[in-house]
A and B are shown apart, each in its own frame.
Chain A
């Protein structure tokens, strides 16, 4: 189970430097920064055996929220917990229970897919044999057994994604978080991924708690048990797809999403870029 309670995060970003000589003149100066509020108030609970969609337009604060969940960033306010363990105080225990496929999913091109997976197993504290066996299992699950002993240099997008996902799941975590996993995948690979996630949700697959972040509503409609809509750094709605349709009085989920994400909050409607 993943709980996110009213987290907020802002960054200081350097003020835009002028082009050319003016920019050069400003280069040495410090302190000219503006604050960007990436996340203002995001809350949601993702239960086990359930696929929770985190839906929001680009720049809504999804990735920042997930980075806070992985203890890569410390929230300015609010708290996060995985299986009841607080991220701020016991980050390593959280990471041991979390399998995260982040936005950045670089592989080591000189290692084989299996070595990439087993490396993460070792970092999770697994024995070599156990990690090896697990890599074999994951290879079967994602239909990539033939790829396992090839170097990842030259892998296609889909093959890379599968390897990165297998790597994130090597320690068989109870909680799985996927940040825009279908980016760059073709239809077949997307379908295969959906099948795998559905299976992982079932008791046979381990009743995993799955959080699926995306900006594509069709993904959410097809896969997710419930949806959390995030816009401008805030949670603007939550519920199942029919519930959200009813809430907005729409029949088309895309219309409902646009209403929720871009129009629902009149205070923010004007501030949208």
Chain B
């Protein structure tokens, strides 16, 4: 037969038409994947903006303010506004209604301080209440400053040199660039785009294999003189196209997503321009092709769409869990990461977000792995197709 290519394109065109006409499914995937970017960014920027505004407000809530004029004096000299904490601050903190840590002053604070009895200042926060928790460190440092000042003053009065009190000076130097710091916040974006690619492929992959079996249209399809591999390649091409379309949309959705950033700091840190979007695509498109083939290979074994959905859960789980290796492995990136699908893509995209240069070899390896996976998937489906049609 002369028409391998004709058969391939006929199947490709038909499957694309079919997939694009499945409006409801497509719309669900589109809305969730394309809106995902801006929504995640908005959520992160909202959090960062509220942290920033808290830091700028320079407020300290104290329970028992009247009992600690010395502390008040110190705090006000640090240009902090000192406020009396609400009476039921504990209950409010627990319910996350109150988002600042509270300094609790004991009843005989001033007297104890004068006697040198080391009174206890409590900083109350709730570690389940993330915003109060993040403020606690700042308050503790502030109170540490108060303690140090008291110590220095009392020693200086006794004629002790300041160098003796602080024999070592500690200074922090942060090596992270602004972009690296931003990845602590934007680190989940690669995960979201990978999920979008996966769910983009999922429905089409299942429909062209298990769906075809369930409808009883696979057997008549194979009664055409078209080569089996041309049919499978056409189906795979269509699934990969849909998945890639979702990948493109979801990668570029972060560009307008940036406009809604409420935090200037985050906007400055999160550098995601057309260049980053293109690099994301270089990493994601091969993954879309590979996932399409793997999902088809898993689904061709199932007689019904529903059964295929159950067995494809394994693939979905693998793609969502493999990137977590990055989180659990504290030893940093290992060289074998780039050989593992999903983990490799996650690693590379994280690096793009950090603004690090990508080594061509490190891009080539995941592309190679994806090509092998795609070829293996297509081969397996073509091999199983006849058997699948009859059962």
Q: Which residues of A contact B (CB under 8 A)?
A: 67, 70, 72-73, 91-93, 95-96, 98, 100-111, 115, 119-120, 122-125, 164, 167-168
> Smallest distance from the beta carbon of B329 to chain A beta carbons, Å?
34
Known A-B contacts A123-B226, A125-B6; A108 and B18 likewise in contact (beta carbons under 8 Å): yes
In the assembly, what is the distance between CA of A211 and CA of B80, in Å? 95
Question: Which chain B residues border A109 with CB–CB below 8 Å?
Answer: 215
B148 at interface by CB-CB < 8 Å: no
B2 at interface by CB-CB < 8 Å: yes
> Smallest distance from the beta carbon of B346 to chain A beta carbons, Å?
34
Q: Looking at the complex, which one of B10, B221, B225 makes contact with A93 (CB distance below 8 Å)?
A: B225
Q: A98-B223, A104-B219, A106-B217 are in contact. List 13 more A-B contacts (CB 8 A).
A: A72-B222, A72-B223, A73-B390, A100-B220, A105-B216, A106-B218, A110-B22, A111-B14, A120-B224, A122-B7, A122-B14, A125-B2, A125-B6
> What's the A-B contact tally at a CB cutoff of 8 Å?
87
In the assembly, what is the distance between CA of A133 and CA of B165, in Å? 98
Question: Could you tell me the dominant secondary structure of chain B's interface residues?
Answer: helix
A124 near B18: Cβ-Cβ < 8 Å:
no
Q: Which residues of B contact A (CB under 8 A)?
A: 1-3, 6-7, 10-11, 14, 17-18, 21-22, 212, 215-227, 231, 386, 389-390
Question: Which chain A residues border B6 with CB–CB below 8 Å?
Answer: 122, 125
B225 near A72: Cβ-Cβ < 8 Å:
no
Known A-B contacts A95-B223, A106-B216; A123 and B11 likewise in contact (beta carbons under 8 Å): yes
Q: Looking at the complex, which one of A91, A123, A167, A168 makes contact with B7 (CB distance below 8 Å)?
A: A123
Known A-B contacts A119-B10, A124-B225, A125-B225; A106 and B17 likewise in contact (beta carbons under 8 Å): no
Question: Which chain A residues border B223 with CB–CB below 8 Å?
Answer: 70, 72, 95, 98, 100, 102, 168
Q: Which residue of chain A has its CB nearest to the CB of B224?
A: A123
In the assembly, what is the distance between CA of A105 and CA of B21, in Å? 21
Question: Which chain A residues border B1 with CB–CB below 8 Å?
Answer: 92, 125
Nearest 5 pairs of A and B residues by beta carbon: A106-B217, A106-B216, A122-B10, A106-B215, A104-B216
Most-contacted residue by chain A among B2, B14, B17 (CB, 10 A): B14
Question: Which chain B residues border A95 with CB–CB below 8 Å?
Answer: 223-225
> Smallest distance from the beta carbon of A28 to chain B beta carbons, Å?
17
Most-contacted residue by chain B among A103, A123, A124, A167 (CB, 10 A): A123
7 A/B residue pairs, CB under 8 Å, sorted by A:
A73-B390, A95-B224, A96-B225, A107-B215, A108-B217, A110-B22, A115-B14
In the assembly, what is the distance between CA of A178 and CA of B365, in Å? 52
Question: Which chain A residues border B215 with CB–CB below 8 Å?
Answer: 106-109
Question: Which chain A residues border B17 with CB–CB below 8 Å?
Answer: 110-111, 115
In the assembly, what is the distance between CA of A164 and CA of B21, in Å? 21
Q: Which residue of chain A has its CB nearest to the CB of B217?
A: A106
Most-contacted residue by chain B among A72, A96, A100, A106 (CB, 10 A): A106
> Smallest distance from the beta carbon of B349 to chain A beta carbons, Å?
34
In the assembly, what is the distance between CA of A168 and CA of B10, in Å? 16
B220 near A92: Cβ-Cβ < 8 Å:
no
In the assembly, what is the distance between CA of A95 and CA of B3, in Å? 14
> Smallest distance from the beta carbon of A167 to chain B beta carbons, Å?
7
In the assembly, what is the distance between CA of A111 and CA of B16, in Å? 11
> Smallest distance from the beta carbon of B239 to chain A beta carbons, Å?
15
Question: Which chain A residues border B2 with CB–CB below 8 Å?
Answer: 125
